[in-house]
Amino acid sequence: MLKENPEDNSHLINTLFKRHDADGPNDSKTSVFSSNQKLLQTKKERRHIAFLKVHKAASSTAQNIFLRFALKRDLLVVLPFVPKFLYPNVISSWETVTDKNILPVPRGRVYEILCCHAVYNKDAFERIMPADTINIGIVREPFEHFKSTLNYIKPREVFNLNISDPVSLFLQKSTTYQSRTKMGFVNNRMAFEFNFPADIFKTRDKTGIETYLQKLDREFQLVIIVEMFDESLILMRRLLNWGIKDILYIKLNAKKKLFERITFKPGDVLLYKKWAELDYALYHFFFRRLQVQIHAQGGTFYEELLYYRSLRQDIEIFCEKKPIPNVTYHVSNSRWSDAFEVAKEDCAYMEKKEIPFIKEIRMQQYGFYNDTI
């Protein structure tokens, strides 16, 4: 049970949260959030980030934060090596980073930010990223994730069913239309991108699931919860010692209207829960972990959260207005940040779509949009 004094929870925090040591190799015995005081006293801005960009989990909004951070500081982003007719923002939807699917490191540089779509693999990520890299993931409430996947990707295994309500039919007979071991966008997709072993997909063994979650617990310092996006970003800001301006955002790719063939019946959520048990285990594990991380921060966390939300509302209002030359939004210094200005250029980058943003960074880093080398 969590205690009121965050310091009294240190044994629990040290058990749940591990990190990479800032000045050397990985140290699985050191906690990211071992104490509020230690975290807030950290002065070094963390610049080496591996973000697992999970499909249909508000990951474009989160990615935009990392791309802006990289652009401002001229950090090298790991970019896909793809022909011009493929998506220039996707390293791979089916495998992890390899020498063949990413652009090579320019001479005299090292990879610093990884935030394009790729399946997680600890060894592959560590092979290309610096030793002090912070791993950050993102997950979404599984049924909401399922709805978004249906709406955007329109997977064939569901919509090829010749019936007026294909989603409910699919959920009633999931294994008839989708093998447990066949990877797709409606078979525990979040767990797939977190690289759950294939045998767990087949057996759904609870011990195996728990063992793999403990492995992820050691390897990811933070997993953003979409339903607690602002809270997750405040934790991230503190973990990385970034500024408030660095985590400002405007929602991207938010599409509320559902495709006309997406309909549900009572009981569909429970059916999906049985089918997507890996995704639910993943989400519940990191949702609970986030609560402990927040509790460890003490009361100042909620003060900063309220400040951040009010500021973000004002920034959105400012960004919605037509550009006026040389007019900026001034943010006074606070307990959480030095004073800074938000210009219309900042708004443009917060609103910048993923593919144009990746193309701009590719041009900055390599001098071309498409792979021609």
Residue pLDDT tens, the chain, 373 long: 334 344 444 444 444 433 333 333 333 333 444 333 344 444 789 999 999 999 999 899 999 999 999 999 999 999 999 765 567 889 999 999 999 999 999 999 999 999 999 999 999 999 999 999 999 999 999 999 999 998 888 888 888 888 888 888 889 988 888 888 888 888 999 999 999 999 999 999 999 999 999 999 999 999 999 999 999 999 999 999 999 999 999 988 765 666 677 888 899 999 999 999 999 999 999 999 999 999 999 989 999 999 999 999 999 999 998 877 789 999 999 999 899 999 999 999 999 999 999 999 999 998 865 544 4
270 in a structural domain: no
**Residue 310 located in a structural domain:** yes
Determine, yes or no, domain membership for 143. yes
Q: Indicate the number of domains in the chain.
A: 1
Neighbours of 318 (CB within 10 A): 16
Backbone φ and ψ of 140, nearest 5° = -130, 150
CA-to-CA separations, 106 to 32, 40, 81, 225, 362, in angstroms, rounded: 32, 35, 14, 34, 12
> What residues form DSSP beta bridges with 113?
49, 77
Residue 163: inside a domain: no
Which pLDDT value is given to residue 160? 85
Q: Is residue 32 part of a domain?
A: yes
Q: Which domain holds residue 85?
A: 6-149+196-260+277-366
Predicted confidence at residue 87, as pLDDT, reads 73
Q: What is the per-residue pLDDT for 17?
A: 39
Asked whether residue 170 is domain-assigned, the answer is no
Q: How much is the pTM?
A: 0.86
Residue 172 lies in a domain: no
Long-range Cβ contacts of 226-229 (<8 Å, 24+ apart): 226/57, 226/58, 226/138, 226/139, 226/140, 226/141, 226/144, 227/140, 227/141, 227/144, 228/287, 228/290, 229/58, 229/61
Instruction: Judge whether 160 lies within some domain.
Output: no
H-state helical runs in 99-179: 122-128, 142-153, 156-159, 166-172, 174-177
In this predicted structure, what is the pLDDT of residue 373? Answer: 40
The predicted structure's pLDDT at residue 84: 58
